[in-house]
Amino acid sequence: MDSKTIIRIQTVTKRFGPAVAVRNVSLDLAEGEFFCLLGPSGCGKSTLMRMIAGFEEPDEGRIELDGADLVGTPPERRPLNMMFQSYALFPHMTVSGNIAYGLRRGGLDKAEQAARLAEMIRIARLDGFETRYPAQLSGGQRQRVALARALARRPRVLLLDEPLGALDRSLRESTQAELKELQARLGTTFVMVTHDQDEAMSLADRIGIMQAGSLIQAGSPREVYERPASRFVAGFIGAANLIEGTIIRREPVFARIALADGTEIEARAETGEPGDAVAVMVRPEHLSLAAGDVPGPNRLAATVTATAFLGDGVSIRARLASGQDIRVLAHGGAPEPLRGEAITLAFAADAARVVT
């Protein structure tokens, strides 16, 4: 990251009774970046966000904003705003009332408040809805009111907890594009929680993957997709085949792995010693059908269990000799194999990666 760090999370731990919700998380957020927190339900994403917003205090570690410790500062005095998963719109206030709520305490004079309110109404495309109550709005409109309300104070960082979770698929996709565009235009740092990996991949500059309270990996979408830090990340981001085996030889960049049935394959490796039980990750699109009788490296014998025509390619499910299921995405033109047919799958050692 070449830009300046705005939020620094240092070895933060949060416990609820005996349960550890967030475990020793360290993370730097750069000014103006769009960061997505991704992970299964209950892994501590909301808890981490709530600590940044000030609704929970960490048990250990510190959270800094522009180098100053935030711990002990109440939420109302943190220059950040949050958009809640349930939107948390004030039911007894109109659209204008909701958006202006934070402006009334922002140290702006009346004229500036009115100008900012008008600006937010325009940005959120809520013209004509100013005097409606939240109960009189559609889901998409409510979502925009919540966003406008959270942005009205021009926060340094906007925290979004599953902001699109309640929208249906098509609305969600158009809103994603709007959100990305808005973030780029305002230059505000966005930290967004989502459990939709496609959403994270398409929106984020960087993705952080959490598991059971720990931050497993943080990096660009390409980084986490191509170089997952663990089996968990590999399986969580995109579709992945994880082929179990044991390292038998280690070279600087590659490792040789023996599978249970004796087949030997080669893959890129950053960690692992001979004798280690590992998994080789191969993405479905990196597997291809090879003619069965042509010998070569990185060949896997398999039996087709199902196929599906996708228009631009064929999705194949096959079973390896070890009994493991494997997914292949063969590109257009390839002849569609039949169910039960014995096939040989090939992949480049470059496209395979050892994960532990």
Partner 1 sequence: MSAARLSPLNVTALALGLAFLYGPILLVVVFSFNASRLATVWAGFSTGAYRGLLDNAALMSALWTSLRIALVSACVATVLGTLAALALVRGGRFLGRGMFTGLLYVPLVLPEVVTGLSLLLLFVALDLGRGTVTVAIAHVTLAMSFVTLVVQARLIGFDRSLEEAARDLGASPLQAFFGVTLPIIAPAVGAGFLLAFTLSLDDLVLASFASGPGSTTLPMYVFGQARRGVTPEINAVSSLLIAAVALTLVTVTLLMKRRAGASLAR
Ligand X SMILES: Nc1ncnc2c1ncn2[C@@H]1O[C@H](COP(=O)(O)OP(=O)(O)OP(=O)(O)O)[C@@H](O)[C@H]1O
3-state secondary structure of 344: strand
Inter-residue long-range contacts of 161-164, CB under 8 Å, 24+ positions, other chains counted: 161/45, 161/46, 161/49, 161/82, 161/83, 161/84, 161/85, 161/192, 161/193, 162/85, 162/193, 162/194, 162/195, 163/83, 163/85, 163/192, 164/194, 164/196, 164/199
Nearest distance, CB of residue 140 and ligand X, angstroms: 21
Is 304 in contact with 289 (CB distance < 8 Å)? Answer: no
Residues 163, 148: Cα–Cα separation, whole Å: 12
Which of residues 11, 55, 122, 239 is near partner 1 by CB under 8 A?
55
For position 149 contacting partner 1 by CB under 8 A, the verdict is yes
The pair of structure tokens assigned to 3 is: 């830009």
3-state secondary structure of 75: helix
Q: Residue 43 binds which entry of partner 1, ligand X, Mg ion, none, with Cβ cut-offs from 5 to 8 Å by kind? A: ligand X
| Per-position x/- string for 172-201, each x denoting binding to ligand X as judged by CB under 6 A, each - no binding | -----------------------x------
Q: How many CA atoms lie within 13 A of 125 on its CB side?
A: 8
- Helix and strand counts by DSSP (H, E) for the chain: 8, 20
Binding residues for partner 1, total number by CB under 8 A: 27
For position 274 contacting partner 1 by CB under 8 A, the verdict is no
- The residue of the chain with the least Cβ separation from ligand X equals 46
Nearest distance, CB of residue 274 and Mg ion, angstroms: 42
Which of residues 46, 81, 197, 241 is near Mg ion by CB under 5 A?
46
For position 271 contacting partner 1 by CB under 8 A, the verdict is no
Which of residues 42, 106, 292, 297 is near partner 1 by CB under 8 A?
106
For position 135 contacting partner 1 by CB under 8 A, the verdict is yes
Report the 10 Å Cβ neighbour count for 349.
17
| Per-position x/- string for 16-45, each x denoting binding to ligand X as judged by CB under 6 A, each - no binding | x--x-x-----------------x-xxxxx
Nearest distance, CB of residue 46 and Mg ion, angstroms: 3
Residues 326, 329: Cα–Cα separation, whole Å: 10
Interaction site with partner 1 (CB under 8 A): 53-55, 74-76, 81-82, 84, 86, 88-92, 101-102, 104-106, 133-136, 149-150, 153
Interaction site with Mg ion (CB under 5 A): 46
